Amino acid sequence: GEVAHVFDRAVEAFGQIDGLVNNAAVLVDKGLLLDSTSERRARESAVNVEGLITCSQEVVRRAIVKGSGGNIVNIASAGGRRAHVLMANYSATKAAVINLTESQSAEWAQYSINVNALCPGGVQTAMLHGAAEAKTMLSRSKKDAGKVRESWISPQIGRSMQPIEVGYVAAFLLSDEAILIRGQSISVTEGLEIEMLADYLD
């Protein structure tokens, strides 16, 4: 199918596939669970979970044939560790990614495939804006999405996280140096969830 064709082209260009980053995701089912629809949930699951499984299978099957091994990095989310209000299904799909990462690691280590996941927090992307909009849907404080995004800036580094910075961590997990890190889901959250001592000092 389409996925196999994409990987055929990659092999034509580079000879073999040594690493895969499963980064595709969508956020479409925003709002209350009671208002959630099967169509929106199915779309999120199709991309966030099924797409990840399909791409991973394609890479691993090729690696088995060639005996080449490799590394896979699944992009989960901080929302996979702790559900986000008004984004319940998205959080559920990312929790599935965390769990799948452990299963993939357990199954595919025998083929010299190392699998890990990243759990980013608020990365400056269009999806982050969508998440901020979701948080304003039932807001009594009437905060706009921009104010919500500002509240997600980490006091530890004082700015927003950029996509390339998550890429740096993914690149490490794709390298041979990450051989001892296996089946893990690593938080990349700028320390946003950690209290700052500086807040208590005059």
Q: What's the CA gap between 74 and 82, in Å, rounded? A: 17
**Residue 200 appears among annotated catalytic residues:** no
Q: Could you tell me where the beta strands, DSSP code E, fall in 14-139?
A: 19-22, 70-75, 113-120
Residue 159's contacts (CB-CB under 8 Å, 6 or more residues apart) are 153
Which of 86, 94, 80, 82 has the alpha carbon at shortest distance from 26?
94
Sheet containing strand 19-22, strands side by side:
19-22, 70-75, 113-120, 185-188
**Catalytic residue among 90, 111, 168, 200, which?**
90
State CA 70 to chain mean position distance.
19
Which residues does the annotation mark as catalytic? 90
